């Protein structure tokens, strides 16, 4: 049989994710894609609680204590946004808005302190410095371009900042990856330079902290194993659902304990059953299937927390009643 793709092996991680692990996902939209899938399993997952963040330093700022100030807010029509948070967060009253952001940040840091794993996906080495605030920000929120200066982080800057974070959080296992989404607005050659900086920084950290940091090659899988444009959406930038699913499969093989791999297979089959939309004349029959599925989970009397799956089944049973 003709081999139509370039494949490569991914060594199994030293520290594997087991059932009931607590995982924080943060970074680019690719981290969100992984988090959505992990959240369907018997795992405690915080997925993109601060919204999408692309730059390593912006991500690190999200994982560090921070005093939020009203003077940092950007007006956007009748609303306010914060330069360190995604545009999904908006508020009418500055003080109330800052209080809500502070709660979100506090919950994220609390979750981080209890997490077994932190999945971080870097998107770009480019960032913008707000000349009025005198510092780097995560999101320009469509403010006047004259307010910002575009800069590029070095490998040394990224590594120095993350080394401090790793030493302050020695119990967390960090899974680093570089987003497979190309930042074409920066320019194709510039994107290549940006991704190279991120890749070298991730490699440096993984080698310096081998017991704490592992690298998952999402970018390499997309660029080599899935290089055909049929694996891209119509914008020719973002991976298709099929591509994301393929990369997630490789992630499971590299980072899941055997028990969790078995559970993932069973739960994914259950989810396909739950996603099935029967003909109205077959509602009663499908409801019986769901009731048997529920009883099977309860009778197993496993130490695995199956509450998420049971809740999904109950929701479907109620919908068919």
User: In this predicted model, what pLDDT tens digit does every residue of 88-146 receive, in sequence order?
Assistant: 999 999 999 999 999 999 999 999 999 999 999 999 999 999 999 999 999 999 999 99
Q: Is the pLDDT of residue 260 over 80?
A: yes
* 3-state class (DSSP) for residue 136: strand
> What is the pLDDT at residue 1?
63
pLDDT in tens, 38-75: 999 999 999 999 999 999 999 999 999 999 999 999 99
Phi, psi of 6 (to 5 degrees): -95, 115
> What is the pLDDT at residue 134?
96
What per-residue string of b and e applies to 29-41 under the rule 16 or more CB within 10 Å gives b? bbbbbbbebbebb
> What is the pLDDT at residue 281?
84
Q: 238 with 181: CB under 8 angstroms?
A: yes
Phi, psi of 128 (to 5 degrees): -120, 140
Whether domain 22-257 has CATH 3.40.50.150: the reply is no
Q: 127 with 194: CB under 8 angstroms?
A: no
> What is the pLDDT at residue 5?
79
Mean of pLDDT values over 254-260: 97
What is the pTM for the complete model shown? Answer: 0.92
pLDDT in tens, 270-307: 999 988 888 888 888 988 999 998 988 888 777 888 99
Q: Is the pLDDT of residue 161 over 90?
A: yes
* CA distance to 129, 131, 177, per residue, from 134 (Å): 7, 5, 29
Residues, the chain = 321
pLDDT in tens, 177-206: 999 999 999 999 999 999 999 999 999 999
Q: 139 with 86: CB under 8 angstroms?
A: yes
Q: What does the domain layout of the chain look like in residue ranges?
A: 22-257, 276-321
Phi, psi of 39 (to 5 degrees): -65, -15
> What is the pLDDT at residue 87?
92
Exposed/middle/buried for residue 210 (C-beta within 10 Å: 0-12, 13-18, 19+):
exposed
Q: 254 with 12: CB under 8 angstroms?
A: yes
Neighbours of 298 (CB within 10 A): 11
């Amino acid at each position: 049989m003709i081999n139509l793709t370039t494949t490569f092996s991914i060594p199994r991680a030293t520290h594997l994710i087991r059932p009931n692990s607590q995982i924080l996902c943060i970074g680019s939209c690719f981290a969100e894609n992984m988090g959505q899938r992990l959240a369907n399993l018997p795992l405690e997952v915080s997925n993109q609680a601060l919204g999408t963040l692309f730059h390593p330093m912006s991500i690190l700022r999200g994982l560090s204590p921070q005093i939020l100030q009203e003077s940092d807010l950007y007006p956007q029509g009748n609303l306010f946004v914060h330069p360190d948070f995604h545009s999904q967060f908006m508020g009418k009253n500055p003080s109330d808005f800052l209080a809500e952001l502070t709660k979100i940040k506090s919950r994220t840091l609390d979750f981080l302190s209890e997490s077994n794993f932190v999945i971080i996906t870097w998107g770009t080495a480019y960032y913008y410095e707000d000349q009025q605030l005198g510092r780097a920000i995560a999101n320009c929120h469509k403010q006047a371009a004259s307010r910002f200066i575009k800069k590029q982080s070095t490998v040394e800057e990224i590594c120095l900042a993350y080394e401090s974070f790793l030493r302050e959080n020695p119990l967390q296992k960090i899974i680093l990856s570089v987003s497979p989404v190309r930042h074409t607005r920066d320019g194709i050659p510039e994107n290549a330079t940006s991704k190279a900086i991120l890749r070298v920084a991730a490699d440096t950290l993984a080698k310096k902290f081998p017991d704490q940091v592992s690298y998952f090659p999402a970018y390499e899988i997309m660029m080599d194993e899935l290089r055909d444009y049929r694996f891209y959406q119509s914008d020719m930038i973002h991976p298709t659902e099929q591509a994301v699913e393929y990369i997630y499969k490789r992630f499971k093989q590299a980072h899941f304990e055997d028990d969790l791999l078995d559970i993932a297979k069973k739960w994914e089959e259950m989810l396909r059953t739950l996603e099935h939309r029967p003909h109205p004349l077959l509602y009663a029959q499908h409801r019986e299937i769901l009731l048997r599925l529920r009883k099977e989970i309860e009778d197993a009397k496993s130490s695995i927390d199956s509450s998420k799956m049971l809740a999904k089944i109950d929701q479907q049973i109620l919908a068919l009643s």
